[in-house]
Structure 1
Amino acid sequence: MSNPGELKKIVPLLALLTAFPAFSTDMILPAIPSLAVIWDQPLAVVNLILISFFVTYGFFLLFYGPISDRYGRRRPLIAGILLYILASMLCAVANSAATLISFRILQAAGAAASASLSMAMTKDIFSGKERERILAYIAIIMALAPMFAPIVGGWILIYLSWHWIFFTQGMMGVLGLLGVIRTPETLKEFSQTPLSKVMHSYGNLLLNKSYIVMVLVMSVSLLPLYSFVAGSSDLYINGFGLSEQTFSYLFAFNALALMAGSMSCLKISQRTDSKYLMTAGFGGILLGGILILVTGQHGPWSFAIPMAMITYSIGISRPPSNHLVLEQVRKDAGAASSLLIFTYFTLGGLGMWVVSQNWMNRIDILGAIALGCGAFVLFSWMLLQKRSIGVVADE
């Protein structure tokens, strides 16, 4: 895969693999309120089908990354996708909340191979500003998943049952599997570390101060988005009294904001230093949190618009943020990618758990999370630049 034209052909596959988590979480969102009624369970219990997926997904990321550095990307990726397909079919025949949660844990264990290894493959193939542009392209394509996933889930609920949502996810896994089988190995230099010591890569990463600091700061910036994912269906359907289909359109509107942010990043980064995009993005998260606290109670759009501002801000800042984090390492890219996404999803699971509690006013909780996270990340980012940690290096 040395020809540049051939390299670019892998971008849609990388985007599909990276979108596995969005498809796996967002497609079931319209069904969550009705599942709570069917199984007579509170939202905090039913939302475990989201939270358990996130936590398990993040945990297994820690294994796929370093193993792929030792044995290549293809074999662990194929094994993970096969497990994902099997678990999706098991989810489709689940008949209780406990059973579905259990199978979702298995599904997450398989899906964990996709996002971490697709990011590692990106580092294998591309470098410098080109990698940053490819990450932006992937983010744009990937944003289609949260746009269409809840809409597809909503329409499935009209004509079929929620079980078919997981059948659809299984078919998506089959597409990804076929693409990976047709793709050559991207890792050029295999790690010589014995399997018994392969997890030691994380010890080296934990000693990399600049990498760990950037991972923690950038992960906090995503907390408002993951919190919104967990609370959105209850907020729109039960709070504002909207139908599952109307909810899916408003959720798609928010996903459109994410794609618009990624597209803006792609265009603006060609003329502007990426550090300014990150500053603007973190400031936008802070401003969006303030607007939710002030206007979010007035109606669906009074909440949706400032939430879209937050999501747009995440979209414009995430590609350079991911690129900057990966620039802090020169080897063990698989482990570095895994630890990065593990932190994203672990903190995201925490935000989901907080929002799922029995709050009197879920909108204010979401606004407070965005306000707090935006303020923390913006302040930290300004401090990092003064200490020269936040300088994007070109290769």
Structure 2
Amino acid sequence: MKFRLLLLISLLAAFPPLSTDMYIPAIPLLREQWGQPLVVINLTLIGFFISYCVFLLVYGPISDRYGRKRPLMAGIGIYIFASLACAASAGIHMMISARVVQAAGAASASALSLAICKDLFDAKSRERVMAHIAVIMALAPMMAPIIGSWVIYWSSWRWVFVIQALMGLVAFLGVYRMTESLTTFSTVSPRKVIGVYLRLLGNGRYISLLLAMSLLVFPLFAFIAGSSEIYMTHFGLGERTFGFFFGANAMASMLGAIVFGRLSAYVRMEKLVTVSFAGIMAAGFWMLLEPHQSPWSLALPMGAMTFFFGLNRPPTNNLILEQVDRDVGAASSLLVFTFMILGALSMGIVSLQWNDKIAVLGTMGAITGSLTFVFWLRFKSVFLARYER
């Protein structure tokens, strides 16, 4: 039962990478098929994440009041319908609209997966559970572009969205069979939800740690938006080869989570987090200094950066949630919202007409890694005090 629950939570948490990474190999094809520039085609990604962020803020407080199951089933139902609409898109405008609706449904899954973890596990157990989930869900961005590229090669990009609809159906059935995880329901009415978020914004520990950790998504989401153009247009790789390069980068995230899970029993969490921030900073400078003459000039430093991100994500997500005692669903939603809205911003930045997108990614990694590293060294004792109490 516990294993099935972990698989379900992992699937829910993996909705964003499954909804984006499987589709990325199709971006150059859609540019050619619909005659649109990259900045317009990437609105299917940016619009997805903006809509996703907005609805994250809706599902969290609703789930605190009405439970996790009903909002999840409603959101996944919307996701299934919108995935089929994406598959039927006849042009870029319909695709953008369908992706916006698809994101509105997907937001329920990843926001409430964290809330379910908080419901069911204490702090120490939750950290280990999140490490296991991170390993499982890392398979999604690793396999999704490979699967997407093969689906596109053998049939059509439309079947990518049909597969996503089937994934949604599996999640819907899993949630239907799940026991409600929330035991204490909020009495805050939906009209007073804004007060919940104002209360969270007044929690200085939660907000400051959340913002510091969220900076690290800049190079990762920019890589998602820019990788197909760099690998396929700039370096001339085919769809299948691109899928393997992209999947290998996602494997680095999985390895980081595995290493954390293994070392956390012997090395204190804060030491592993400190090493991870230093590693992201170093990988950013490596990317800036490396001559950009082959795909490996992006793959190697980006793989290192992603590894260190995977190393810190389970403990830092857990540490952020430890800064709150109530409104957990809203806090979980705001956490993912902040990650995704900054990620959408970075996607917009990298989609501009830069001469060297690899240098843009390296600059993002070096700056955000440095800022987060310095912040952590200065204030880590404040956040660890609640974790260790």
Question: Smaller-chain TM-score range?
Answer: over 0.9
Partner Cα separation in structure 2 for residue 196 and residue 142 of structure 1 = 35
**2:216 — aligned with what?**
221
Q: Are 1:200 and 2:200 counterparts?
A: no
Partner Cα separation in structure 1 for residue 338 and residue 299 of structure 2 = 27
**2:185 — aligned with what?**
190
| Letter of the 2:297 counterpart | S
| Deviation per residue, 1:257-305 (Å, 9 max, x gap) | 0000000111111111111111111111111111111115031112201
Partner Cα separation in structure 1 for residue 231 and residue 8 of structure 2 = 33
Structure 2 unaligned segments of length 5 or more: list them: none
**RMSD of aligned alpha carbons:** 1.1
Query: What SS does the aligned partner of 1:130 have?
Result: helix
2:383 to 374, 379, 389: 389
Residue 9 (structure 1) shift: 3.3
Task: Single out whichever of 6-15 and 320-329 deviates more from structure 2.
Answer: 6-15
Q: Are 1:37 and 2:32 counterparts?
A: yes
Could you tell me whether the CA contact under 8 Å between 2:323 and 2:386 is conserved in 1?
no
Q: Are 1:91 and 2:64 counterparts?
A: no
Q: 1:60-75 maps to which residues of 2 (within 5 A)?
A: 60-75=55-70
Partner Cα separation in structure 1 for residue 388 and residue 125 of structure 2 = 10
Could you tell me whether the CA contact under 8 Å between 1:70 and 1:198 is conserved in 2?
no
% identical equivalent positions: 46
Could you tell me whether the CA contact under 8 Å between 1:381 and 1:390 is conserved in 2?
no
Could you tell me whether the CA contact under 8 Å between 1:274 and 1:392 is conserved in 2?
no
Q: Are 1:180 and 2:191 counterparts?
A: no
Q: Structure 1 length normalisation: TM-score?
A: 0.97
Q: Are 1:133 and 2:128 counterparts?
A: yes
Query: What SS does the aligned partner of 2:89 have?
Result: coil
Residue 56 (structure 1) shift: 0.8
Could you tell me whether the CA contact under 8 Å between 2:34 and 2:91 is conserved in 1?
yes
| Deviation per residue, 1:82-104 (Å, 9 max, x gap) | 00000000000001111100100
**1:3 — aligned with what?**
none
Partner Cα separation in structure 2 for residue 392 and residue 194 of structure 1 = 29
Partner Cα separation in structure 2 for residue 342 and residue 184 of structure 1 = 26
Q: Are 1:78 and 2:73 counterparts?
A: yes
Query: What SS does the aligned partner of 2:383 have?
Result: coil
Residue 39 (structure 1) shift: 1.1
Aligned residues: 389
Q: Are 1:232 and 2:227 counterparts?
A: yes
Could you tell me whether the CA contact under 8 Å between 1:64 and 1:116 is conserved in 2?
yes
| Letter of the 1:393 counterpart | Y
Partner Cα separation in structure 2 for residue 145 and residue 77 of structure 1 = 20
Q: Are 1:370 and 2:368 counterparts?
A: no
| Letter of the 2:279 counterpart | G
1:241 to 220, 232, 236: 236
Q: Are 1:348 and 2:343 counterparts?
A: yes
Partner Cα separation in structure 2 for residue 164 and residue 55 of structure 1 = 24
Partner Cα separation in structure 2 for residue 296 and residue 75 of structure 1 = 52
Partner Cα separation in structure 1 for residue 64 and residue 195 of structure 2 = 12
Q: Structure 2 length normalisation: TM-score?
A: 0.98
**2:261 — aligned with what?**
266
Partner Cα separation in structure 2 for residue 92 and residue 277 of structure 1 = 43
Residue 37 (structure 1) shift: 1.2
Q: Are 1:254 and 2:249 counterparts?
A: yes
| Deviation per residue, 1:180-226 (Å, 9 max, x gap) | 00101000100112232133211110110000001100111122111
**2:305 — aligned with what?**
310
